[in-house]
Amino acid sequence: MQKCTYVSESLKNGRLMRWTIMPLKVYIAPMKFYSKAGEDYKYRGLVRRALDEWQAATKGKISFRIVETLLDSNINIEWKRVERKALGFCNFSYDASHRLYGAEVSIGLTEGKVHADYMDENEVYHTILHEIGHAVGLGHSPNKKDIMYTPHQRGVNKVSSGDVLTVNWLYRLPQGATVAEVASRYQTGGSDIDEIIAKVMAGKAESEFERVKKSVNNPPSRDLLEEQENIANLKKYNLALQNLQISPDMRKFFLNNNRKK
């Protein structure tokens, strides 16, 4: 079965890792080395646009709020000169329960000495989208059409349908769940979480409604109910007869009549 998500890349030590708090507070660091007028404003605008795109992709399940100080943030976005192959990177922090609690995002910029093509604003936006995807818990995708694919694919500048499916499944499944727990949740087999998701999407896994429906006994037919009611009434009648008592006067009357005979 063809897989259409890459949630398996969000497993850390066999458990799903993601945020459990919203909105995520984002600090956008000021540029320290760009002196051209308007550069700082332009790139901050690209970050805001990328945050809006991820928020829209999840219909608000993931949400962001820009904050003015680093200490108030969950995600810190800063700018680096590109002097390496990577155009950006993300370091994140998570606790023993596999809950994300911090992310440090670095976006690489260049003045044309390295990665000349990277001066294209769309390619900078690609990197920002990609690294924010990491910051919310996504790993790398095997599909070149996805923004989370690596290495950088020139011309891919928006969140794809595969990215949308993956991030929504990541935040639909229980945080910290194992593959076995996800398989049990959907009553299906599989050792790969993305294969399990594909089965659920294809309708080959029992829904929760179907499982509950099967666990409930069918109600008896009306004829059977009437028969049961009749039997119950007969039992009540027999019990009433057994509890009947003859008054002393009536007992005396019957005894006298029998003697006269």
Give the residue-averaged pLDDT of 79-90: 73
Burial tier of 78 (Cβ tally within 10 Å: 0-12, 13-18, 19+): middle
Quick one: average pLDDT of 22-30? Answer: 96
Tokens read off for 104: 């440090």
pLDDT at 165 over 90: yes
- Give pLDDT, residue 76: 97
Q: Where does the pLDDT of residue 251 fall: very low under 50, low under 70, confident under 90, or very high at 90 and above? A: low
Q: Give the tens place of pLDDT for each residue, 61-76.
A: 999 999 999 999 999 9
pLDDT value of residue 241: 44
CA distance 255 to 247: 13
- Residues 6+ away with beta carbon under 8 Å from 42: 121
Q: What is the pLDDT of residues 127-162, one digit of tens each?
A: 999 999 999 999 999 999 999 998 878 888 999 999
Q: Return mean pLDDT, the chain.
A: 82
Residue-wise pLDDT tens digits, 193-239: 999 999 999 987 655 445 545 555 554 455 555 666 666 666 555 55
User: Where residue 2 falls among pLDDT bands split at 50, 70, 90?
Assistant: confident
In sequence order, what are the beta bridge partners of 114?
A: none
Query: Is the model's pLDDT at 35 over the cut of 90?
Result: no
Rounded Cα–Cα distance for residues 14 and 183 (Å): 14
Cα four-point dihedral sign 108, 10, 176, 164:
positive
- Residue 138's alpha-carbon distances to 105, 130, 168, in angstroms, are 13, 9, 11
